C-alpha cells in the first residue's frame, strides 16, 4: 500500500500519542494497585476484587502497547494497513478507529474478536 510520507508521519504520531496515553494508564493502574491493604476485612475483600480487575486492565493496556509497537514496525516495513491473515488492505475507516489493527474486519470477526 503506497502512503505519502506525511501520511505515515501522521499515523506514527497518532500511534505514539495513543501509546503514551496507555503508558499513563498503566502507571495509574500501578499506583492504585500499590494501595496498602490496611483497611478492615470488608474493605480488603473489595480491594482484592479490585486487584483482579486492575490486573486485567493492565494486561489489556500492555497488550495494546505491544500492538502499537508492532504497528509502528509495520509502518517502517511498509506493511502497515495490510491484513496479516488475508493480505487485503484494512479499511481506512477501521484504521482510524483501531490504528493498531492487524486484521481486516472480516478476519477479525472470523477470529471471534470484536472490533
Interface ranges with Zn ion (CB under 5 A): 83, 85-86, 104, 107
Q: How far apart are CA 63 and CA 65, in angstroms?
A: 5
The nearest distance, CB 10 to Zn ion, in angstroms, is 24
| C-alpha cell read off for 48 | 482484592
Cα distance between residue 57 and residue 115, in whole Å: 18
Q: Is 112 left (phi over 0), alpha (psi -120 to 50) or beta?
A: left
Q: Which residue is associated with the grid cell 496479516?
A: 84
Q: How far is the CB of 19 from Zn ion (least distance, A)?
A: 24
What is the distance between the alpha carbons of residues 106 and 47, in angstroms, rounded to a whole number?
Answer: 40
Amino acid at each position: 500500500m503506497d502512503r505519502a510520507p506525511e501520511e505515515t508521519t501522521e499515523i506514527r504520531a497518532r500511534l505514539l500519542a495513543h501509546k503514551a496515553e496507555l503508558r499513563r494508564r498503566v502507571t495509574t493502574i500501578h499506583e492504585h494497585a500499590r494501595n496498602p491493604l490496611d483497611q478492615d476485612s470488608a474493605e480488603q475483600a473489595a480491594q482484592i476484587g479490585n486487584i483482579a480487575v486492575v490486573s486485567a486492565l493492565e494486561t489489556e493496556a500492555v497488550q495494546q502497547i505491544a500492538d502499537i509497537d508492532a504497528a509502528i514496525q509495520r509502518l517502517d516495513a511498509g506493511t502497515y494497513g495490510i491484513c496479516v491473515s488475508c493480505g487485503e488492505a484494512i479499511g481506512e475507516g477501521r484504521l482510524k478507529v483501531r490504528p493498531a489493527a492487524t486484521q481486516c474486519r472480516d478476519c477479525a470477526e472470523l477470529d471471534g474478536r470484536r472490533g
